[in-house]
Amino acid sequence: MKKVFYFLRLSLTLMLVCGIAAGTLAATYSVTQPIVEKREKEELVKKYEDLLKLFQTEGAELVENLEALEKGREVIEGLEAVFNVNKGDERLGVAIMTGANGYGGPVKATIAIDDDGVIVGVNVLDISGETKGVGSKVVEEPGFIEQFIGKTVNDPIQINTDIDAISGATISSRAVIQDVSDAAKVYREFAGDVE
């Protein structure tokens, strides 16, 4: 009986220590998380502003296209947002944010497509799951992203036939290529010219 109490005491002590630790961490998290979220949101807004510049016009704005997002989600799992890029009453194109799986999680990218179906820009947003110095080259080597610019949504974008992958970073390259072809699919089927 004595032994049972002894082990019980050890377990309870350990449980108490873990409980206190968990409480402390929860408190720290609740302080730091709002700051992190606020900054991430600001960064995202800035990324979209960079994207608007690709349409080479002043005063354009992003309007969420929820219908295309909802329909697109049924076929593309990683689809996160579909925006119409409007200037006044005129639509210039769309910006599509999607994330196909890379080496260690989704590789998020925003793809800007003008109303003629031409890809005008690709912004890779999140490569936190990719290996630093290897997979991260998809953003560090400008030549890789440039391969997409000017292609239309109907052009084939196959890895190593149409788009050269970064050697050593095939998986991360493939994820970006998947992002672009997903965006092209969304454009063709749901978000293309509405008229």
Partner 1 sequence: MKRSIWRDFTIGIIEENPLFTLVIGLCSALAVSSKVENAIFMGVAASFVMVASNILVSVIRKMVPNQIRIPIFIVVIASFVTIVDLTMKAFFLAGYEALGVWIPLIVVNCMILGRAEAFAYKHGVIRSIADGLGKGLGYTLVIFIMAIIRELGGTGQIVAFENTIISLRGFQPPQILQSFPGAFFTFGILMGLLQKLQRKGE
Residue ranges binding partner 1 (CB under 8 A): 9-10, 13-14, 17-18, 21, 24-25, 28-29, 31-33, 35-36, 39, 132
Residue placing its CB nearer to partner 1 in the complex, 34 or 156: 34
Kindly state the smallest distance separating residue 93's Cβ from partner 1, in Å: 32
Kindly state the smallest distance separating residue 91's Cβ from partner 1, in Å: 36
Residue placing its CB nearer to partner 1 in the complex, 28 or 56: 28
Kindly state the smallest distance separating residue 182's Cβ from partner 1, in Å: 28
Kindly state the smallest distance separating residue 172's Cβ from partner 1, in Å: 16
Q: How crowded is residue 113: how many other Cβ atoms within 10 Å of its Cβ?
A: 29
Residue placing its CB nearer to partner 1 in the complex, 2 or 58: 2
Q: Cβ(94)–Cβ(82) under 8 Å?
A: yes
Which tokens hold the place of 10?
Answer: 């050890």
Residue placing its CB nearer to partner 1 in the complex, 18 or 66: 18
Strands 106-114 and 90-101: antiparallel
Neighbour order of strands in the sheet with 106-114: 61-64, 79-87, 90-101, 106-114, 119-126
Task: Return d(Cα 79, Cα 36) in angstroms, integer.
Answer: 23
